[in-house]
Amino acid sequence: MDQLKGIGMQVFYTILKQHRRKLRPEMRILGDAYVKEEFRQAHQKANQEQYIEFLKRWAIYIEELDKSKQIGRDLTSEEKALLNEDQIDNLAKLKEFSKQQKSE
């Protein structure tokens, strides 16, 4: 498991590096906080099989970041109109969290 955690740290730092390259600053704050919490929990709670699957999922995320040209755009008014109440609430919570992270 120690070797896997070493690989996990490489994946973690690759994600943070990709965030620096690909995400707008306000999205990077949110993305970095999310990734740090996910990896912290996985290090503490996951067994070997779960950790391998966890790393596979994050590797897919890294590939998606590599392929993407633009990440983090504002929703159009048409897209906003399609959101349901739960999605609007979650979006507001994310916005508030992002503001809190910026001020820290």
Weakest mean pLDDT among 9-18, 33-42, 46-55, 70-79: 70-79
| Domains of the chain, residue spans | 1-71, 74-103
**What pLDDT does 95 receive?**
78
What are the tokens at 74? Answer: 């504002």
Q: What is the mean pLDDT of the chain?
A: 88
Confidence band (pLDDT; 50, 70, 90) for 94? confident
- For the full predicted model, state whether its pTM sits above 0.85: no
